[in-house]
Structure 1
Amino acid sequence: MKKNLLCLFSALLVLVSCSSDVTREDEIIDDIPTPVGQILLTKMIEKNAKGITRTIINTYAGNKIVSQVYNNTKEGIYYTYTGDLITKMEFKLADGTVEQINTYKYDGNKKLIEFFRTQPGQEDWDTKDIFVYNADGTVSVYDEDGFKNSTITFLNGEVSEVVSENSPNFKYTYDTKNNPFKNVLGMDKIAFIDGEGNGVLHNIISETSSFGDETTTTTSKITYNADGYPVKSFDNFEDAGTTTEYFY
């Protein structure tokens, strides 16, 4: 299945640990109930073509995601909200050092207007995207110097196409079932960063990437539960073939 915020899976491979402060936050999280009737993804088990397995555990405060940790450790991504909007994601290393910080800014209508990524100590690699909402429903993405990077087209609330200036273009098709993260508060607001789309309500089942004369289409095969959420998927979007199991 297409990478999902998980923001993001290629960056996750470098994560390692989190501080004891997060442990105390985890203890508080248990006191906040999940909203009635909302299904939340609690665990994923990924196995790639090389046979390497990774378990991802999601922790929530109500329907706000707090962390995604790996292989029964505190390695993972940690989220910060302002109100009902995700405003920061921190990627931490084993010694507590923050490897990467993603920050998100919104306008008064809760639309994402700026995405900023920094790697402390490697500021030369910092990136900023500025989002402009057009009258025709598309979103134009500019860098901090005002150069237009891409234009994003939406269909039924999902990213249908991304046309980029100097990067691959993408087209997507979706199923009619439920995305595992559809009930995570604020996740839909950041589902089109980094020049690619991620499912918001539904799941991407095909992605066509084109750059110059080269065009590649990759697909995902998904098995669903009685509620219409994925329980197993096989895709070749990121690796030579990854199988993922989903638990709620």
Structure 2
Amino acid sequence: MKKILCLLSAVAFVFASCSKDDSSDSTSSVLVKKIIDIDIDGSSSTRDYEYNGNKIVSMTEDGLLSKYTYTGDYITKIEEFDTEGKVDLTTEYTYTNGKLTTSIEKNTGAKYYYKTTYVHNADGTVSYDNFRGTVETGVEQEYGATGRYTLKDGNLIKLEVSYYGDERSYLYEYDAKNNPFKNVIGLNLLLEDETIVNNIVKKTEISGSGTNIHTTLTTYTYKYDANNFPTEKVESYQSGSYVSTQTTQFVY
């Protein structure tokens, strides 16, 4: 969870202007209840979601629980619990004029906390910077990645990441159908991988410089229900001659 690389599985990212709830839309109450990830070797993991209306209350993944706290329509805290039911990680979010400005992650009992600040630029991009702070003193220093998100029509189309001289960019292409989390209030503001309007069909990662450019490609294919929400996603990752796949199933 620490945003050292702040990569999206990226994730994707959206603003308040893209999160309107059209009550006349018969699909506005469609919410994903279960997600099952199946690896190429047949092993799997399951995420179960609970809601209060269109607000997410909790997510349970293989016995581990995450709880969500709202202030109005904004998610302001996510708490992750260990197998003994104790809070292991807390992430708190702040907003300015309806846009995310900071996220702070604190591991229980840790010496440091990790903070990301977001600047919403005039050209519509969002720049971010990572910091590490000392819990005891509150003193912070730059630590980890910096970068910039470029969005279009509510979807992340480009992520640029700089990590101690390692420069990477991620390019995203989408279909025109509904993302499983499209109707969840507040998720579209968090600048994370499950906060997009549509579904990723292609992700290109570019790293290196000069004559040493390395490109990896991930493609996604879907099956959809009658409401154009995906019921299955097959992710294929290719880097050179290496290829791996993962299947994800969605239950509403």
Deviates more, 1:179-188 or 1:214-223: 214-223
Partner residue of 2:70?
81
Shift of 1:165: 1.8
Shift of 1:146: 6.2
What residue is the counterpart of 2:155 in the other structure?
158
- TM-score, length of structure 2 as denominator length: 0.76
Q: Using a 3 Å threshold, how does the CA distance of structure 1 residues 56 and 146 change in structure 2: closer, same or farther? A: closer
Per the alignment, residue 100 of structure 2 pairs with 112
Q: Residue 173 of structure 2 contacts residue 200 of structure 2 at CA under 8 Å; is this kept in 1? A: yes
Partner of 2:221: 221
- Say if 2:11 and 2:195, in contact at 8 Å, map to a contact too: no
Between the two proteins, the alignment pairs up a number of residues equal to: 212
Identity of matched residues, % = 32
Distance 1:153-1:219 versus aligned 2 partners, 3 A rule:
same
Of Structure 1 and Structure 2, the greater helix share is in: 1
Deviation of 1:44 (Å): 1.6
Query: Which of the numbers 42, 51, 66 marks the counterpart of 1:60?
Result: 51
Amino acid at match of 2:108: P
Instruction: Tell me if the contact between 1:234 and 1:242 (Cα under 8 Å) persists in the aligned partners.
Output: yes
Please give the per-residue CA displacement for 1:175-213, whole angstroms capped at 9, x wherever unaligned.
1000000000001001x24xxx54511011111112212
CA distance in 2, matches of 1:61, 1:207: 33
Deviations 1:125-180 (A, max 9, x none): x3211111111111111234468811111111211111122253211011100000
Do 1:66 and 1:79's aligned partners in 2 also have CA atoms closer than 8 Å?
Answer: yes
Q: 1:92 to 1:38 in 2, by over 3 A?
A: same
**Superposed CA offset, 1:92-138 (max 9, x none):** 1111222211111101x2100001112122233x3211111111111
User: In 2, Cα distance between the equivalents of 1:152 and 1:60?
Assistant: 29
- Relative distance call for 1:106 and 1:235 in structure 2 (3 A) is same
Q: Secondary structure at the match of 2:244?
A: coil
Task: Say if 2:181 and 2:194, in contact at 8 Å, map to a contact too.
Answer: no
| 1:235 is the counterpart of 2:221 | no
In the alignment, which residue of structure 1 is the partner of 2:200?
Answer: 204
Alpha-carbon RMSD across the aligned residues, in angstroms, is 2.7
For structure 2, which runs of at least 5 residues remain unmatched after alignment?
1-7, 13-25, 132-140
* Uncovered stretches (5+) of structure 1, i.e. residues with no partner: 7-34
Aligned residue number for residue 140 of structure 1: 127
How many Å apart are 1:76 and its aligned residue? Answer: 2.3
Q: 1:102 aligns with which of 91, 99, 108?
A: 91
